[in-house]
Structure 1
Amino acid sequence: MLAVESTANTAPEQQIDALAALCKASADPLRLQVLRVLRNDSFGVSELCGLFDMRQPALSHHLKVLAGAGLVATRREGNSIFYRRSELGQRPELEPLQQQIFQTVDRITLPAPLHRGLAALQRRREENSRHFFHHNAHKFREQQDLIASYGQYAATVAEVLRDAPLAHRRSALEVGPGDGAFLLELAPAFERVTALDNAAAMLDRARATAEGAGLANVDFIHGDTASAALDGLQVDCVVINMVLHHTPAPKQILRDVAGLLAPGGVVLVTDLCRHDQAWARENCGDLWLGFEPGDLTQWAADAGLAGIASVFLAQRNGFQIQVRLFGHPDFNTARTTP
């Protein structure tokens, strides 16, 4: 039987009300399916309406009940509201039951139509991202500079990489190398480097940069982190610079690359902190408006990784960049630099 512990700051009546709301919210088949769908991703209201074939007012009622019970959290991006599952620990007195609910629904297989709908939605997101970079590869730097130019974070990323507690520097993988600028840092530091990109036009630009610099130890793969071309690859370091906010499933990417790490390997992630400048979606091909640092920490933990180092860089235009280094739990001596 699950025990719900009291907390010093919550009155017993409030605890009972919160527990009742949680039980009520989870006592509905549709709401349980929504929680299952939100297992690895966040979705906008319109996306969820399409998945469940429901009108927005009806679905919004269910989402409001889930939010009121602390089972889902929201974020606003422009005129849209996105939903994701709440993080555990925000309501300690309810955490045991909340965790049991999540674990139970995650063991349920989604109905075939819903599974197909999710797969189609992911494909549309991926295609939109590839389409953007296919048509805008020639002005990659120009669009990047709208938010955070490479020069604003490159030195910090290189320093974090140099300080990484790596026993070996034999091989590295860069996911989404862009125009190849960071390959100029990686290639001299590792015996072999793999550059992976799902946009052929961007991979061609990265290859041209490497060839122009005379880098002979870089292999180029057209694909994503689930590509069969990576089967058997084990690397000491994975670098993901300003890529996750362009991808439909950043949590899954962290899972994928964690599986490619050799013992003692690290994952170096650079990305935007959460912001509210929705124009970045259309102008820069962004699928996410940055991430809360806690989201990356949780997704890394779900992939079996722990934080090693964190650096946060404020930009003049109001954006903030987070440079995060993750590794296996025996590296768990995290340090943060403002």
Structure 2
Amino acid sequence: MLSATKTPGSANEPEQPDLASDLAAFCKASADPLRLQVLRVLREDSFGVSELCAIFNIRQPALSHHLKVLAGASLVATRREGNSIFYRRAELGQRPELETLQSALFESVDRIELPAGTEQSLDALHRQREQNSRNFFRDNADKFRQQQDLIASYEQYAGSVADVLRNARLARHGTALEVGPGDGSFLLELAPAFDQVVALDIEAAMLEQARARAGEAGLNNIEFVHGETGHPRLGELQADCVVINMVLHHTPNPGQVLKDVAGCLAPGGVVLVTDLCRHDQGWARENCGDLWLGFDPADLTRWALAAGLDDIASVYLAQRNGFQIQVRLFGHRQSLKETKHE
């Protein structure tokens, strides 16, 4: 009796990835100027379909086709936020055999100069996002602690953040910068540990809350600066420590914030970031002024690397309401190499 012979792709054998088909899909996806511009726009941010339509002045059916092609080639990833789908660039390594091509494509795409109209639309969208967040904090400054407690109260993560900072083994404790100090709770930790602390906040009402709290505690080594991380005062700083607690998910461009603070970091200094891990609880946008529904740890690592920073330590804290907090410590790449060499 003759035995049946299995052939590749038969019903008796699991289907294997088809490299030729995947390579063809990759080449097709990268062979359109508009799709390459979409990848350029998604370099450091994620956008919904309607936002991308506004940026490129294109109707949704046409853009959805292009996004489908990019997703089929694993060049973009999606996440659902409520009833909306947001797109971002895919992480490297999903298909190791195509990683070299994907990396080379992204590197080339990042050198693309977008048309002036597209740049203007992109800038307008970023400004609108930022204004929405600022309006929220302006209108809800007196409810800051109540709103924060909906996701993660300060008490739930403050101890771990303070422990990570104490274990950072800083060579100097001259100047600390806190971006977005909120009601000033963590300033009570920073001020006794550093000679000088700069508290920077884009919302004046929140800055006044922090100032009042510091005054009640008798702290007199804190300078309060109204502005964003592009403020000229940061250009004068050489900070031994920068703290960004639960702020990045309220900012339109987290990658730029990390670049700005890395630029004022002293040799051997650290950037301490506390923020939410990615989640799907879309109500946080309206109720808490969130622009981002948290971040994949890889997102923060990627933005940090682009800012010239490397990972030093990470702590993850689960919350009872389904959220997870990541506490990340970053340092200048050159400083880390020098430390290891010594």
| Alpha-carbon distance in structure 2 between the residues aligned to 1:46 and 1:307 | 35
Matching residue of 1:197: 201
CA contact (8 A) 2:170 2:268 kept: yes
Between structure 1 and structure 2, the one with the greater Rg is 2
Matched, 1:298 2:329: no
Q: What amino acid does structure 1 have at the position aligned with 2:124? A: A
Alignment gaps of 5+ in structure 2: 1-14, 338-342
Aligned-pair CA distance for 1:328: 2.3
Matched, 1:53 2:57: yes
| Alpha-carbon distance in structure 2 between the residues aligned to 1:316 and 1:96 | 41
| Alpha-carbon distance in structure 1 between the residues aligned to 2:298 and 2:179 | 22
Matching residue of 2:133: 129
Alignment gaps of 5+ in structure 1: 1-9, 333-338
Matching residue of 1:16: 20
Aligned residue pair count: 323
Cα deviation per residue 1:33-60 (whole Å; 9 max; x = unaligned)?
Answer: 1011111211111100111112212111
| Alpha-carbon distance in structure 2 between the residues aligned to 1:315 and 1:114 | 40
* 1:94 counterpart SS class: helix
| Alpha-carbon distance in structure 2 between the residues aligned to 1:227 and 1:117 | 24
| Alpha-carbon distance in structure 2 between the residues aligned to 1:320 and 1:103 | 32
Cα deviation per residue 1:181-209 (whole Å; 9 max; x = unaligned)?
Answer: 00000000011100000011101111111
Matching residue of 1:97: 101
Aligned-pair CA distance for 1:155: 0.8
Matching residue of 1:238: 242
Aligned-residue CA RMSD (Å): 1.5
| Alpha-carbon distance in structure 1 between the residues aligned to 2:114 and 2:102 | 20
Match of 2:84 among 51, 67, 80: 80
| Alpha-carbon distance in structure 2 between the residues aligned to 1:93 and 1:28 | 22
| Alpha-carbon distance in structure 2 between the residues aligned to 1:72 and 1:327 | 29
Matching residue of 1:7: none
Question: Structure 1 length normalisation: TM-score?
Answer: 0.93
Matched, 1:211 2:218: no
Cα deviation per residue 1:115-148 (whole Å; 9 max; x = unaligned)?
Answer: 1011111100110111000000001000001110
Matched, 1:35 2:47: no
1:219-230 matches, cutoff 5 A:
219-230=223-234
| Alpha-carbon distance in structure 2 between the residues aligned to 1:28 and 1:308 | 40
| Alpha-carbon distance in structure 1 between the residues aligned to 2:264 and 2:142 | 31
Matching residue of 2:6: none
Aligned-pair CA distance for 1:229: 2.7
Q: After the TM superposition, list the runs of 4 or more consecutive aligned residues in structure 1 that deviate by more than 4 angstroms.
A: none
Matching residue of 2:272: 268
Matched, 1:327 2:322: no
| Alpha-carbon distance in structure 2 between the residues aligned to 1:230 and 1:305 | 17
CA contact (8 A) 2:37 2:112 kept: no
Matching residue of 1:281: 285
* 1:110 counterpart SS class: coil
